[in-house]
A and B are shown apart, each in its own frame.
Chain A
Amino acid sequence: MSSETTQEGQKDKGVLYLGIDLGTSRTSVASSNGQRITISSHVGYPKDVVSKKLLKKDILFGDEAVEHRLSLKFYRPLAAGVLKHSNKTTDDVEGNMKAAADLIREIIRVSLPRKDELVYGVIGVPAQAAIHHKDAIIRAARETLDSVMLCSEPFAVAYGLDMLDDVLVIDIGAGTTDLCRMHGTMPEDSDQITNTFAGDYVDDQLSALIKKKHPEAQFTSRMIQTLKERYASVSDSMPPVVIELPVAGKPMSFDITDDMRTACRSIVTPMVEGLGKLISTFDPEFQHRLKNRVLLAGGGSQIKGLDSAIEQEMKKLLGGGKVLRIEEPIYGGANGALKIAHDMPAEYWEKLK
């Protein structure tokens, strides 16, 4: 339990349960008081006294941080669905760790817990997150949560929908795509595959395609992400995507329809190959049923026509299949995590305090 909590006095009025989907691009929370919030996973600290005075804040989160990123020490603390510090790829380990802890604190603050309530949370992590990744997340969460548990993100999605038997879950995030086979029990490592053919990969592909075709166009990765979120489609009959990008300071129009389609389609084949691995190692008697119960979740599932494209690829590689898109792609993981938090017996929570 955090030191902050103990100073605040007795928490004897009940428990606030939180389901948290800690994503590379967005962090979503669903809480047992009815609050549901999503913020982009960006944290910024004013670079100097001048910017602090201008921004009137010590920390900025989400879109506000993105908007003022030039005046901020800017962090995207979650990479590939885990804390950036745990990958040892960055020099600013402490900075990312602090940013992650602040992000979790913020997401809990906006969930509006009462001062006299305990706060218990279940956090979804990528299916095959390593122990040091989990360690980093728990350390960041413990500062603000009274008790915390981790669970596999795709499992949380399936649990939230009560689809526990013979289901394949595809959870497309920004950093990772998780594939998980559900067969009535807790999925084991062999039931789960995590790859990085996800939202960021699509951004990279799109960026490379535009750069190749229009080397004169100027853009940033943030602009590419915004374009993808607005126009992403794999459909042959998608409406034309004509955008404006600056060329030597002057806005020019570019038709990126084909590039957008190509970039979005680039994740389909690896995804279906992953599904193929999970299907082929399953009981042959139930393989057909499994193929026809594929759940598509996560922010990446909002790519238009993706369900049909996966079905077509499954037909080509696996002989057929049926893909169902979940109703709430952004909150699918958080809703499931909240359901797990609520269903978890109180004694288990107590033991993990």
Chain B
Amino acid sequence: MPEFQTVRMSDTGQGLFSGAEVESLMRVEFERARRHKFPLVCMRVAIDRIDQLHDLYGVESKDEILRAVTALMRDSMRDSDHLGITQDDRFLAVFPHTTPETGQMLAKRLIANARKMRFERDGRSLRISLSVGVAHNKDEAATSFETLLAVADDGLAVADAGGGDRFVETELYALYANKKKRGGMDSDKPLIINAPARPLPAAPHEPTREELVGKALLEKLMSQGFDIDALAGMPPDMIAQAIRAFSQQKNVVEAGAGSDADKGRQIDQLERRIAKLTHVLGITEDELRRVATMKGIDLGLASIYSTVQGLATDTSLYEQKREMMKTIFEANFELKQKLKPGSGPGSPFEKK
């Protein structure tokens, strides 16, 4: 009797495939796509800072967010697509018959829709964002599903490292394909798809990153007519100083971009502080009002428009607004006249 493997969807508790299941499906889909020559897109999706949200607001909030993102992803997918979730709460989605362009559009839509999501917790509104790594089988080097998965993982890592709320396609298919050929990615062994992607060391026979950068820089300088001999004759200190200055400038820019999360936390803290102060101010005002009433003091607040009133003449909409004010007044004057028993409409601009 042949043994059949069944795909169970109950393990994740959300009616989703588990990571291993979707990986298995992906392997089959990839082979089918290769045989029948149809496009396929693979995506790794993570909810940014989900662990921090879990720590701050508890497991219920995390579950609620995961459920909502699952529903959001399902809404964006067809029945023939596959969606799975791994134990580290990352989604793996496979879209057969989908071109790379459509895949990018899908990723963009997912990210945009996630931005719109709001969750209420402890009377406060939480927002989420997604990081997405995208890969497709149109690249010549995308010869195995492990390569696709590695590229998607890499894209997710880059998107996450960049602050999240974005999708990345690294296009490092050739790199991972070579690595697989060298045995670095054994297709017989199960792929650990939960492992965070990290930059892979350069292969021994390949040029180093420095060599590649140097070559690219040289080509760039030559294409712009730069005198290479002059550069060669330049004191090394001067070149080093220029590189340091460039590096410092880059660090400043990166520090600004990377501190978005910190700024978010600061805003959060300030909002809480404002809420507390507003509460205390309310209590103080109530008390002042009580004392003022006891002593018979006028409680009113003076209008800030006691002396400044009317349309500002320097506004670009002055004429338009003046006409509108006149129309509103005329309508109200007419109404007043109609409501006055036994009197006709009259003209609002007659002198008294």
Question: A: which residues have CB within 8 A of B?
Answer: 13-17, 31-35, 112-115, 117, 131, 134-135, 138, 149-151, 159, 162, 164, 184-186, 236-237, 239, 304-305, 308, 340, 342-346, 348, 351-352
Do the beta carbons of B302 and A149 come within 8 Å of each other? no
Q: How far is the CB of B284 from chain A (nearest CB, A)?
A: 15
Inter-subunit contact A185/B306 (CB<8 Å): no
Asked whether any CB of chain A lies closer than 8 Å to the CB of B67, the reply is yes
Most chain A CB inside 10 Å of its own CB: which residue of B303, B310, B335, B348: B303
Any chain A CB within 8 A of the CB of B193?
no
User: Told that A164-B321, A237-B68 touch, could you supply 8 new A-B pairs with CB distance under 8 A?
Assistant: A15-B303, A15-B305, A35-B301, A112-B301, A117-B306, A184-B320, A186-B324, A348-B348
B311 interfacial contact with A, CB 8 Å: yes
A117 touches B333 (CB 8 A): no
| Chain A residues in 8 Å Cβ range of B327 | 185-186
Can you report 23 A-B residue pairs in the complex whose CB atoms are below 8 A from each other? A13-B302, A17-B305, A32-B305, A34-B301, A114-B300, A115-B300, A117-B300, A117-B306, A131-B338, A138-B339, A149-B329, A150-B332, A162-B317, A185-B324, A185-B327, A186-B324, A237-B117, A239-B67, A342-B305, A343-B310, A344-B310, A344-B329, A345-B311
1/0 contact trace for B96-118 toward A, CB 8 Å? 00000000000000000000111
Q: Find out whether the CB atom of A114 lies under 8 angstroms from the CB atom of B335.
A: no
Q: When the two chains form their complex, are residues B324 and A17 in contact, meaning their CB atoms are under 8 A apart?
A: no
A186 CA to B320 CA in the complex, in Å? 9
Task: Give the size of the chain B interface in residues (CB under 8 angstroms).
Answer: 40
Which B residues are CB-close (under 8 A) to A135? Answer: 335, 339
With A16-B303, A344-B325 given, is the CB distance from A114 to B75 under 8 Å? no
Expressed in whole angstroms, the Cα–Cα distance for A184 and B317 within the complex equals: 10
Within residues 299 to 317 of chain B, which ones have a CB less than 8 A from any CB in chain A? 299-307, 309-311, 317
**Given known contacts A186-B324, A237-B75, A33 and B336 CB-to-CB distance under 8 angstroms:** no
For the complex, is B71 an interface residue (Cβ under 8 Å from A)?
yes
In contact, A236 and B71 (Cβ under 8 angstroms): yes
* A237 to B14 alpha-carbon distance, docked (Å): 14
Q: How far is the CA of A213 from the CA of B64 in the complex (A)?
A: 25
Residue ID in chain B nearest A338 by CB atoms: B305
Q: Are B64 and A239 in contact (CB under 8 A)?
A: yes
Q: How far is the CB of A117 from chain B (nearest CB, A)?
A: 6
Q: A138-B339, A236-B75, A239-B68 are in contact. Are A343 and B302 (CB under 8 A)?
A: no
**Is the pair A352, B329 in contact by a Cβ cutoff of 8 Å?**
yes
B323 at the binding interface (Cβ < 8 Å): yes
Other-chain contact of B303, A31, A151, A239, A340 (Cβ < 8 Å): A31
- Cα of A299 to Cα of B300 in the assembled complex, Å: 29
Contact, CB under 8 Å: A308 / B116? yes
State in angstroms the CA–CA spacing of A228 and B320 once bound together.
40
CB of B228 within 8 A of chain A? no
Q: What sequence of 0s and 1s flags, for each residue 68-108 of chain B, a beta carbon within 8 Å of any chain A beta carbon?
A: 10011001000000000000000000000000000000000
Partner of A138, one of B311, B317, B335: B335
**Is the C-beta of B298 less than 8 angstroms from some C-beta in chain A?**
yes
Kindly report which residue of chain B lies nearest to residue A132, judged by CB atoms: B339
Min CB gap A173→B, angstroms: 20
Known: A134-B335, A164-B317, A348-B325. A33 touches B304 (CB 8 A): yes
Q: Report the separation of the CA atoms of residues A351 and B326 in the bound assembly, to the nearest whole angstrom.
A: 12
CA distance A142 to B327 in the complex (A): 21
Alpha-carbon distance between A305 and B317 when the two chains are bound, in angstroms? 33
B328–A32 touching, CB < 8 Å: no
Flag if A13 contacts B306 (CB, 8 Å).
Answer: yes
B contact residues around A185 at 8 Å (CB): 320, 323-324, 327
Q: Which residues of A contact B302 (CB under 8 A)?
A: 13-14, 33, 114, 117
Q: Verify if B119 is at the interface (C-beta below 8 Å from A).
A: yes
Q: B258-302, CB under 8 A of A: which get 1 and which 0?
A: 000000000000000000000000000000000000000011111
The answer to whether residues A352 and B336 also contact, given A159-B324, A185-B324, A308-B116 and a CB cut-off of 8 A, is yes
Q: How far is the CA of A194 from the CA of B324 in the complex (A)?
A: 21
- Contacting residues, chain B, for A348 (C-beta < 8 A): 325-326, 329, 348
A16 to chain B, nearest CB (A): 4
Tell which of B320, B323, B336 has the most Cβ of chain A within 10 Å.
B336
Distance in Å: Cβ of B281 to nearest Cβ of chain A: 13
Bound Cα distance A59, B72 (Å): 49
In the bound complex, how far is the Cα of B304 from the Cα of A32, in angstroms?
A: 6
* CB closest residue in chain B, given A342: B305
Give the residue name and chain of the A residue nearest to B304 (CB).
A32
CB distance from B326 to the nearest CB of A (A): 8
Cβ–Cβ < 8 Å partners of A16 in chain B: 300, 303
Alpha-carbon separation in the docked complex, A138 to B335 (Å): 10
Contact of A15 among B116, B309, B329, B335 (CB under 8 A): B309
Measured in the bound complex, the distance between the Cα atoms of B320 and A237 in whole Å is 44
Chain A residue numbers with a CB within 8 Å of B72 are: 237
Q: Which residues of A contact B118 (CB under 8 A)?
A: 304
Which B residue sits closest to A165, measured CB to CB? B320
* A178 CB to nearest B CB, Å: 16
Residues of chain B contacted by A114 (CB below 8 angstroms): 298, 300-303
Complex alpha-carbon distance, A353 and B34, angstroms: 83
In the bound assembly, the distance between CA atoms of A117 and B329 in angstroms comes to: 22
- The smallest C-beta distance from B91 to any residue of chain A, in angstroms, reads 14
- Chain B nearest CB from A21 CB (Å) reads 16
Q: Please indicate the chain B residues that have their CB under 8 angstroms from the CB of A346 in the complex.
A: 309-310
- Please, how many angstroms separate the alpha-carbon atoms of A94 and B116 in the complex? 47
Residue of A nearest to B311 (CB): A343
Contact flags B155-171 to A (C-beta < 8 A → 1, else 0): 00000000000000000
A33 CA / B302 CA spacing, docked (Å): 6
Contact between B304 and A112, CB atoms less than 8 A apart? no
Residues in chain A near residue B338, CB distance under 8 A? 131
B350 to chain A, nearest CB (A): 9
CB pair A345–B310 under 8 Å, yes or no, is yes
Residues of B within 8 A of A345 (CB): 310-311, 325, 329
- A151 is contacted by which of B304, B328, B336 (Cβ under 8 Å)? B328
> Please, how many angstroms separate the alpha-carbon atoms of A68 and B284 in the complex?
27
